[in-house]
Amino acid sequence: MTIHIGAKPGQIAETVLMPGDPYRAKWAAQTFLENPELVNETRGMLGYTGTWRGHSVTIQGSGMGMPSLSIYANELIRDFGAKTLIRIGSCGGMQDKVKIRDVIVAMTASSFSTPSSGIFRELNFAPCADWSLLQAAVLAAEARKVPTHVGGIYSADVFYDERPDLNEQMIRHGILGVEMEAAELYNLAARYGVRALALLTVSDHLITHEALPAEDREKSFGDMVEIALEAAFA
Ligand code: HPA
């Protein structure tokens, strides 16, 4: 048990999938895991542990934003021994070629203020995904014929950003999408020598202003959960 995770020792698997939304954790666990058991409900940040093809897996909500994810990732790694952490989230598309429902595999994540990067002082540390997970996720997505993009994303501090010129520069430099958690996850994974990856379905678009219809969200999210599970145990 930690301050934010009420699970008992041994109740968290070495492989953890992390959606931002705790209800997505519940849905994914009940849809894809066998014998899912609720292992955390502290602050409503639901976490479940079950099995997938015989492998033990935890699906734990991270909350929104890097400070929230940082709390859960730190405790999962340091106190519960998590070794593979895969964010399964949504993002806003930032390139014309990136369409609603596509999956983005984040090779790296740019940010203004990754919470844990203060340790580097003035060094602009480039947090990156684990190669084995990234490669396996791309192969799993291709096998499922899910349109996939691999590249850099932007982990923002504010959802309601009022600096459109910033987005223009991100777009110009090929950033595929914007979300709010991956840079911190990659930073912590590097620090503690564990594997991390962020998979993101494009739920809205900063150029076209399209949005994924609510009724399509489950299907798109489900494809990504399966890609994450296949990558984790490839
Ligand atoms: N901005 C930031 N985070 C997001 C977005 C967005 O447009 N869409 C999904 N997560």
pLDDT per position as a tens digit, 126-177? 999 999 999 999 999 999 999 999 999 999 999 999 998 999 999 999 999 9
How far apart are the C-alpha atoms of 92 and 153, rounded to whole Å?
10
204 is in an annotated binding site: yes
Is 204 catalytic? The answer is yes
4 is in an annotated binding site: yes
Residue 92 beta carbon below 6 angstroms from any ligand 1 atom: yes
Over range 100-119, report the average pLDDT: 95
Residue 152 beta carbon below 6 angstroms from any ligand 1 atom: no
87 is in an annotated binding site: yes
179 is in an annotated binding site: yes
54 Cα–ligand 1 center, Å? 34
> What is the sign of the dihedral through the CA atoms of 142, 186, 68 and 234?
positive
Over range 112-138, report the average pLDDT: 94
Over range 62-75, report the average pLDDT: 98
Residue 119 gets which letter from DSSP?
Answer: G
Contact 82, 14 (CB under 8 A): yes
218 Cα–ligand 1 center, Å? 17
The domain defined by 15-232 folds into Rossmann fold (3.40.50)
Nearest CA to ligand 1 atom 7: 92
* 49, burial (CB in 10 Å: exposed 0-12, middle 13-18, buried 19+): buried
Whether the model pTM is above 0.80? yes
Residue 180 beta carbon below 6 angstroms from any ligand 1 atom: yes
Q: Which residue in 79, 157, 204, 216 is the catalytic one? A: 204
How far apart are the C-alpha atoms of 131 and 77, rounded to whole Å?
19
- For the chain, the average pLDDT equals 96
* pLDDT for the residue 216: 82
- In our burial notation (b when 16+ CB lie closer than 10 A, e otherwise), range 194-203 reads bbbbbbbbbb
> What are the structure tokens assigned to 68, written together?
């929230």
Contact 229, 119 (CB under 8 A): no
Nearest CA to ligand 1 atom 6: 92
Place of tokens 């014309």: 96
- How many other CB atoms sit within 10 Å of the CB of residue 193? 8
160 Cα–ligand 1 center, Å? 9
Over range 35-43, report the average pLDDT: 98
Residue 161 beta carbon below 6 angstroms from any ligand 1 atom: no
How far apart are the C-alpha atoms of 74 and 82, rounded to whole Å?
9
The answer on pLDDT for 5 being more than 90 is yes
Residue 170 beta carbon below 6 angstroms from any ligand 1 atom: no
